[in-house]
Structure 1
Amino acid sequence: MIPGRSPGGGLLATLDPRSRTIAAALFALVVVGQDSLPTLGMAVTLALLTAVLARLDPIATLRRLLALDGFMVLALASLPFTVPGETAFALFGIEASQAGLRLSLAILLKANAVVLMMLALLGSMDPVAFGQALRRLGVPEKLVQIYLFTLRYLDVLHHEFRRLRTAMRARAFTLRSDRHTWRSLGYLVGMLMVRSVERSERIVAAMRCRGFDGSFPVLDEPSRFRRPDGVFAGLALVGMSLLVMVEVS
């Protein structure tokens, strides 16, 4: 399994990857433009329903959301004390505004809704299929290749990093807050970069030997829009229309 991929798929696995990609992008655009807390609560509900349809692993998904929320809470903790408005409470003599609290909650709901929808629609998709979908949607070929190469060789570099760390431990290296530790970590990063460059040169040479012409051939027959994709598109439009209508009203 590709690192970072969410296991699942469920009913959504039968859909064309392009329809899932477009739906995820449109949902993110719509949700980011909303400010009403009820609307954002509805967006989170829609994302939860989509996650259920995608059959995401509840434990793994919850861990990802908790990691996001932990970072977001730390980042948004200062907003209630910096945004002017009616006082909600005071902490050590510093007043926190209701507008700041509302803004923090809105940003938190937006982030959770968008990330959960991305995990449901894109995280459960095969990464190569996602790259092919981007290409068929008109994304520049260079960007698609960068995505596919990054996806493939992040895992390779991670294994290389683990080999170097194992070699350091075999030489009784332990992390300390001293000059030797920082110098050793610098050597580790430098060696990882050198080996990455060497591997990239070997990859380029191997690709040229195989006649690489700047694009990856597609061996599988491309998927097509079918009736389930039309039903999914209709439901997605209804859901996003509801979000906009609730916000306007």
Structure 2
Amino acid sequence: MVYVLEQPDKTVSQPGELGHYGLLGSLDPRVRIVIACLFAIVTVALTSIAALMAALLVSIGLLMLSKLPMRRTLRRMAMMDSFIIFMLVLLPFSMPGDAMFTVFGFPASWQGLWKAVEIGLTANAVILAVMVLVSTMEPVTLGHALYRMRCPETLVHLLMFTIRYIEVLREEYMRLRAAMKIRGFRPGTNWHTYRSFGYLVGMMLVRAIERSERILGAMKCRGFSGKLLLLREFEIGRRDQVFAFCMGAVCLGLFLLEFA
């Protein structure tokens, strides 16, 4: 018996189908990964507000082509913004330049404000494009695409098994937390709480190691030899070539807008 990783994915469609995620769902996963990387590199290299706004509009256009739920996707992107909002608010006060106003003796500069806007537009454009092009893939499809792109096989294995068993670790964490609550544990700001959470992390690591050994033994019994065996082959069709050409032209247009 040979251990084979199935590919239960709807993103690799038959010719003529649009797939589950609209037009983008029928594209070759390798093309989507390359375009996402290219677009991210180009967007990060931009500095003008006009070019960055155009890049954000391109990402929104990709979102509309993907047929993803607009509200839920923008909500997920807003969660990312919550991590950088404090940095963006404090940037005008930490960057020297022409003062706009003063708060408690700390001047806020116009240069800092524009830098904050630049960072915000860059982050949102890149994250939205990556969410649309890459995060809509099944984990197995992403791993197979990276393997076909000659990525290190060990890293591909780590990615696929991490995605596969991260939910198992979460369930193990919930069981341990439930056991702590049954025993009357209530978290607080004291050494007993810190020590208890340290024991919790340690038990999770021990159980993860034991489970990984059992999984490895089961895989070896099924003939796993460390190689990824694919049941499907990716093919770059005419639609993939047209999409790659259009996105290449868009990236070139963003550069021209940057230096215009």
TM-score, normalization by structure 2: 0.89
Q: Which moved more, 1:206-215 or 1:160-169?
A: 206-215
The partner residue of 1:186 within 194, 198, 204 is 198
Q: CA deviation at 1:59?
A: 2.9
> 2:100, 2:108 within 8 Å by CA — same for their partners in 1?
yes
Contiguous gaps of at least 5 residues in structure 1: 1-7
Deviation digits for residues 188-244 of structure 1, max 9, x if unmatched?
11111110111111122222222322212112x212011111111121112111111
In structure 1, the partner of 2:84 is: 72
Q: In structure 2, how many angstroms separate the alpha carbons of the residues matched to 1:49 and 1:158?
A: 35
Question: Could you give the per-residue CA deviations for residues 136-193 of structure 1, whole angstroms, max 9, x where no partner exists?
Answer: 1111111111110111111110111111112222223222223322222121111111
Q: In the alignment, residue 13 of structure 1 is paired with which amino acid?
A: G
Aligned amino acid, residue 232 of structure 1: F
Any residues of structure 2 matched to 1:39-58 within 5 Å, and which? 39-58=51-70
| 2:154 alignment partner in structure 1 | 142
| Counterparts of 1:215 and 1:34, CA distance in 2 | 40
1:170 pairs with 2:170: no
Q: Partner residue of 1:32?
A: 44
Correspondence 1:226 to 2:245: no
Residues 1:161 and 2:169 aligned together: no
C-alpha separation in 2, matches of 1:151 and 1:211: 22
Q: What is the SS of the residue equivalent to 1:123? A: coil
What is the TM-score when the length of structure 1 is the normalising length? 0.92
How far has the Cα of 1:108 moved from its partner? 0.8
Q: Using the alignment, how far apart are the partners of 2:139 and 2:71 within structure 1?
A: 21
Which residue, out of 17, 35, 40, partners 2:29? Answer: 17
Q: What is the distance in 2 between the residues matched to 1:212 and 1:239?
A: 44
Equivalent residue for 1:245?
Answer: 256
Q: Give 2:75's match in structure 1, choosing from 59, 63, 66.
A: 63
Measured against aligned partners, the alpha-carbon deviations of 1:115-137 in whole angstroms (never above 9, x if no partner) come to 00001101111111111111111
Corresponding position of 1:87: 99
Q: Amino acid of the residue matched to residue 82 of structure 1? A: S
* 1-structure distance, mates of 2:139, 2:35: 17
Query: Which residue of structure 2 lines up, in the alignment, with residue 4 of structure 1?
Result: none
Answer yes or no: is the 8 Å Cα contact 2:63–2:70 preserved in 1.
no
Does the Cα contact within 8 Å between 2:43 and 2:126 map onto a contact in 1? yes
User: How many residues are treated as equivalent by the alignment?
Assistant: 241
* 1:98 is aligned to 2:110: yes
Q: Distance in 2 between matches of 1:130 and 1:237?
A: 22
Amino acid at match of 2:64: V
Aligned-partner Cα distance in 2 for 1:24–1:154: 25
Q: Which range moved further: 53-62 or 35-44? A: 53-62
Q: How does 1:200-239 map to 2 (within 5 A)?
A: 200-219=212-231, 221-239=232-250
The yes-or-no answer on 1:197 pairing with 2:195 is no
Q: Distance in 2 between matches of 1:165 and 1:57?
A: 34
Q: CA RMSD in A?
A: 1.3
Q: Which runs of 5+ in 2 are unaligned?
A: 1-19
1:92 positional shift: 1.5
